[in-house]
Structure 1
Amino acid sequence: MDKIKNRWLIAASTMGVHVSIGSVYAYSVFKKPLLETVGWQPSQTAWSFSIAILVLGLSASFLGVKVEKMGPRLSGQIAAVFYGIGLILAGVAVQQAQIWMFYLGYGVIAGIGLGIGYICPVSTLVKWFPDRRGLATGLAVMGFGFGALFASKIFVLLIHSFGIPATFIGAGITYFVIMMASSRYLAPPPEGWAPAGMDSASQSKKKKVVREDPVQLTAKEALRTRRFYFLWSMLFINITCGIAVISTASPMSQQIAGLSPEAAATMVGLMGLFNGLGRIGWSALSDYLGRAGVFGIFCVLQFGIFFALPQISQPILFQAAVCVIISCYGGGFALMPAFIGDVFGVKQLSAILGNLLTAWAAAGVVGPMLSAFVYEKTQSYAISLYIFGGAFVVAFALALIVAWESKRLRQTAELGVLKPAEATA
């Protein structure tokens, strides 16, 4: 029998992939240098990031089943190739001052690498941690949150020292190597594998019992259920509201709380930290309170904060409130893979997660655009903040429905009378 891999090294390898692709969130450090060096306008450079996030969601959706079949190692290596080549092509595009080539490299090719790289290790990690799904997904996507924190500082130094093209090319080569090396250790657990102590835990009332999933659905079967669209809507609302705050954080903090541009920039750095911490913290807490319970906390917290934010003029309190929102934003990403495992099983988790990430693609467009539209009409951030706060009432109701349906399915399965039609209802 082959030696069983160390699941904590699997987690470390997963973080290697996600820290690499998480550098996409550091893209803002290139905007001003691109304007000064190449002359591309802010609207032109903004499109490349939007294309990358859109392609991330679409590639994750359309390639999810392929990723499940190929396995995490090959999928991770393919992601490394696409992401590395995309960044290198972006560097060449800057050298040639070709915006279409930049869109193709950074937006489309790197975006495909983002989509594949995001979903391939998460599914694997959930299968290695059936007893700690929340912690597992938190570890995986925490790297994505921290990737920008590390990359932004390094990119700024490299841009000043070597220029934009060399920075993109160097980043492409570096991330290709890291992702290839990390992917080599990725593998699903053997059939029927369970972590040490799991059997004994199921026999002891004093220890946590790890229950079997009530259903194991394919991606196509999941798409036929109400629960999938409820989860999609919950994720869409959480991302839309969070990414709107991210896109306006600096000017909004200056207008409402009177922060200086320097203090606002410091707050943006703190947001990156809380984005990463929220991914591991909230997801780990969900192992004890349940996914729906933690998502309900998200909704209650953010409902109150979004309605209070326009009246918070005290700088420290304002920054703390924004950081709580961003922690929930990051936590939502970490919560969903574990939520999928609870609701649909892990049979095709990558494919289902890929379909669910289309919510990210949609929210990445709707959130900033809605916030900008309302601000242009009112010259105030208050109305958009109230709209976002109200949306969490809907998200809270959906979380309650998903929790109720999941509990009903589990109870029916434990009685041995769960029918296929009920599982896919």
Structure 2
Amino acid sequence: MKTTKNRWLMALSAIAIHLSIGAAYAYSVYTNPIRDTMGWSTAEITLAFTIMMALAGFSAAFFGNFVERNGPRKSAIYAAVLFGAGQAGAGVAVTVDSPILFLLTYGLASGLGLGLGYISPVSTLVKWFPDRRGLATGMAVMGFGAGSLITAPVAGYLIESLGVTPTFYILGASYFVLMILGASYIAPPPKGWMPDGFKKDIASGKKVVKKDLSQLSAKEAVKTRRFWMLWTMMLINTTAGIMMISIASPMAQELVGLSAAAAATMVGIMGLFNGGGRLGWAAVSDYIGRPAVFMIFFILQIIAFVSFPNITNVLLFQAFIFIVVSCYGGGFSNLPAFIGDLFGTKELGAIHGYLLTTWSLGGILGPQIVSIIRERTDSYIPVFYIFTALIVIAFIVSLLIRLDINKLEKEHKQRNEGAA
């Protein structure tokens, strides 16, 4: 069976979906205009974002099996309906002056669409790029990281020109159209498909296909040590990254005297490192392997968090922040490929969903830990020591998962030699 689909257009379709749902991170542009226009409290407006982000990870876990049963196209269409309706529905909520409806639309519906849309194209993309798993998933997830960079200025312009309600309508409709266009092309490759160039390299001996450690269902995967080691690594990496994103501006102003304007510029650059880290680290992983990349993440972050309390140089302080944020983004882009390596592509979408619960938990734990410590000690310094300890634990786990992988590879080799 010959496919007429182009895998690079497949990647573009995945980017279109992720670019749309990634707009969720631009929520802050709505806060002041809604507060000033409607008189709602900042807490009410922010709660909708909190609900959306908390639901994103958990709905990814809930919908994982749905994606496996119904395929990426139908799943992405449902995601488009939920996310587009949630964003446009937020405009209705503002029109009728209903904070409760705002929570149900921007928070609940968008959150469900965000989680479903995040996982819908990923397992398919891994199958289309057996030779470049990391790069493939990195491209899609980079789109998610870049969504807010594009949406924030566009939304700001529309709010200033037309007002809050029309902005929600226009952007909600735009996200829906873009996601539907992406969904219309998404489809899995024929079973056993490989790109022609990759086949030739294998036939000539230039490349050797490294087999996945196993082909497990989601239920089987969660019963393995490897799953929970990867879950722990992701939770700590995500918690550290979200914590840094949540306090970067006030922390830099307090500790190294960065001005408010310079801190705002730094936050914008952080977005570039978040998105760039997703693509860069994922591409690197195709050459050095996913376990090595995660070990590098934790070594770099240990150096950063140990150094933060003693840094007085503004540029060096910002450089370490950018490193932490790039590792945060890189964790998400490497995750789908790592899942494929460890558990195969049989139910990659469902396993990916289960592991994305770390996204929701990290989004809750990171800001909570730093706010409690800052309130009780009136300092950010203890935060660095706590996260140093957590990342040391993550580094130890990354060593253990490497040993576990080596053990399984050795067992497979011995089994194959015995069979021969």
Q: TM-score, normalised by structure 1?
A: 0.95
Give matches, 1:347-366, under 5 Å: 347-366=346-365
TM-aligned CA deviation for residue 252 of structure 1: 0.7
Match of 2:338 in 1: 339
Q: 1:152 to 1:180 in 2, by over 3 A?
A: same
For 1:315 and 1:163, locate their aligned partners in 2 and report how far apart those are by CA, in whole Å.
38
For 1:244 and 1:255, locate their aligned partners in 2 and report how far apart those are by CA, in whole Å.
16
Residues 26, 148 of structure 1: 8 Å contact kept: yes
2:321 is the alignment partner of 1:322: yes
For 1:374 and 1:383, locate their aligned partners in 2 and report how far apart those are by CA, in whole Å.
7
TM-aligned CA deviation for residue 63 of structure 1: 1.1
Deviations 1:354-403 (Å, cap 9, x if unpaired)? Answer: 00001111110000011001000111111112211221111111111112
2:274 is the alignment partner of 1:275: yes
Residues 38, 94 of structure 1: 8 Å contact kept: yes
Q: 1:298 to 1:310 in 2, by over 3 A?
A: same
TM-aligned CA deviation for residue 203 of structure 1: 4.3
Match of 1:231 in 2: 230
Match of 1:48 in 2: 48
TM-aligned CA deviation for residue 410 of structure 1: 2.5
Deviations 1:113-171 (Å, cap 9, x if unpaired)? Answer: 10110001111110111111111110110000001111111111111111111111111
For 1:26 and 1:382, locate their aligned partners in 2 and report how far apart those are by CA, in whole Å.
29
For 1:72 and 1:154, locate their aligned partners in 2 and report how far apart those are by CA, in whole Å.
29
Give matches, 1:333-412, under 5 Å: 333-412=332-411
Match of 1:166 in 2: 166
2:207 is the alignment partner of 1:215: no
> Secondary structure at the residue paired with 2:214?
coil
2:95 is the alignment partner of 1:95: yes
TM-aligned CA deviation for residue 280 of structure 1: 0.4
TM-aligned CA deviation for residue 204 of structure 1: 4.4
2:34 is the alignment partner of 1:34: yes
Letter in 1 for 2:295: G
For 2:125 and 2:3, locate their aligned partners in 1 and report how far apart those are by CA, in whole Å.
18
Deviations 1:194-226 (Å, cap 9, x if unpaired)? Answer: 111333333445x33222213100011111111
Residues 281, 334 of structure 2: 8 Å contact kept: yes
Give matches, 1:16-165, under 5 Å: 16-165=16-165
Deviations 1:234-271 (Å, cap 9, x if unpaired)? Answer: 11101101101111111111101111111111111101
For 2:305 and 2:26, locate their aligned partners in 1 and report how far apart those are by CA, in whole Å.
25
- How many residues are aligned here? 417
Letter in 1 for 2:63: L
> Secondary structure at the residue paired with 2:207?
coil
Residues 3, 189 of structure 2: 8 Å contact kept: no
Match of 1:197 in 2: 197
Unaligned ranges ≥5, structure 2? none
For 1:200 and 1:88, locate their aligned partners in 2 and report how far apart those are by CA, in whole Å.
49
Match of 1:242 in 2: 241
> Secondary structure at the residue paired with 1:347?
coil
Letter in 2 for 1:400: L
TM-aligned CA deviation for residue 2 of structure 1: 5.1
Moved more, 160-169 or 36-45: 36-45
Letter in 2 for 1:240: T
Letter in 2 for 1:84: G
TM-aligned CA deviation for residue 43 of structure 1: 2.0
Deviations 1:21-58 (Å, cap 9, x if unpaired)? Answer: 00011111112222212222222222111111111111
For 1:366 and 1:146, locate their aligned partners in 2 and report how far apart those are by CA, in whole Å.
24
Residues 141, 333 of structure 1: 8 Å contact kept: yes
Unaligned ranges ≥5, structure 1? 419-425
Calculate the aligned-residue CA RMSD, in Å.
Answer: 1.4
Match of 1:421 in 2: none
2:296 is the alignment partner of 1:297: yes
Q: Percent identity?
A: 50
Residues 213, 409 of structure 2: 8 Å contact kept: yes
Residues 123, 346 of structure 1: 8 Å contact kept: yes
For 1:27 and 1:375, locate their aligned partners in 2 and report how far apart those are by CA, in whole Å.
25
Match of 2:250 in 1: 251
Letter in 1 for 2:37: T
Q: 1:41 to 1:307 in 2, by over 3 A?
A: farther
For 2:122 and 2:186, locate their aligned partners in 1 and report how far apart those are by CA, in whole Å.
10
2:179 is the alignment partner of 1:179: yes
> Secondary structure at the residue paired with 1:416?
helix
> Secondary structure at the residue paired with 2:228?
helix
Moved more, 180-189 or 156-165: 156-165
Residues 217, 344 of structure 1: 8 Å contact kept: yes
